[in-house]
Amino acid sequence: MIRSEGREAWKICECLKIKRIQQMIKSSQITEQFQKMNFDTYSIENADKQIKSVKLAAIDYVQRFYAIENERSNSFALVGQVGSGKTHLSCAIANELLKKEIQVIYFPFVEGLNNLKSDFDAIENKIDQLKKSRVLFIDDLFKGREKPTAFQIETIFSIINYRYLNHLPMLITSEKDFEGLLDIDEALGSRIYEMTRGNRFVLKGQELNHRLKNR
């Protein structure tokens, strides 16, 4: 903002900032439904202590992001129990980062890989975007098949390994716990484990599945 131009200059700067954020949200590939997910809509009223602690940790991660962005352990992972709000809370993190004009790309594991395979002419460019985005949000890593295909493992490894080597942060959710990720591919799982040190949480217990409440 140029102080000498007063309120008009401030308004122009603010409008430009809003446009930049809107463009980032559009390019993030986060759906309209997921854009509505924030820390306020992630209720912890009467919630299990696990849920309360991960929400506080997620808020803390956003607050510390600039300080840890270039460190080895700069990523955030929520793994484990189905229906425990892992995607909701990770979307809240992503949406807060976007408000700070921090680029985030959302990559739902199953749909994302299917889209990659559907257009082999553009696959290299798409993978390059996933590798180099300032923050990459991989949702439901290794969802689906009991045993991932060679294509799935090789593609995800190439993306995560690049980000690991270049200290680029990720947000990761998975129904697999860390032992499960290591069983699928130890090189891949151990990279995620190291990148999320201090910011990794395993949610356990069917009582955390909000979809089963009041059944």
By the 8 A CB rule, do 42 and 88 touch? yes
Judged against a pLDDT cut of 90, whether residue 196 lies above it is answered with yes
Residue 1 pLDDT: 39
Cite the DSSP H helix spans in 166-200: 178-184, 186-195
By the 8 A CB rule, do 29 and 107 touch? yes
pTM of the entire predicted model: 0.86
Share of the chain above pLDDT 70, in %: 84
Confidence bin at 35 (pLDDT 50/70/90): confident
> Where residue 73 sits, what CATH number does that domain have?
3.40.50.300
Residue 159 pLDDT: 97
211 in any annotated domain? no
212 in any annotated domain? no
Amino acid, single-letter form, for residue 175: E
Compute, in degrees rounded to 10, the torsion defined by CA atoms 85, 30, 170, 197: -20
Tell me if residue 13 falls in helix, strand or coil. Answer: helix
- Burial readout 12-22 (b: 16 or more C-beta within 10 A, e: otherwise): eeeeeeeeeee
By the 8 A CB rule, do 174 and 140 touch? yes
Confidence bin at 2 (pLDDT 50/70/90): very low
Which of 17-26, 152-161, 189-198, 204-213 has the lowest average pLDDT? Answer: 17-26
213 in any annotated domain? no
Note down the domain range covering 165.
9-205
How many domains, the chain? 1
Give mean pLDDT, residues 115-134. Answer: 87
Residue 187 pLDDT: 97
210 in any annotated domain? no
Tell me if residue 136 falls in helix, strand or coil. Answer: strand
Tokens coding 52: 């309360």
How do residues 44-68 score in pLDDT, each as one tens digit?
887 788 889 999 999 999 999 999 9
1 in any annotated domain? no
Judged against a pLDDT cut of 90, whether residue 186 lies above it is answered with yes
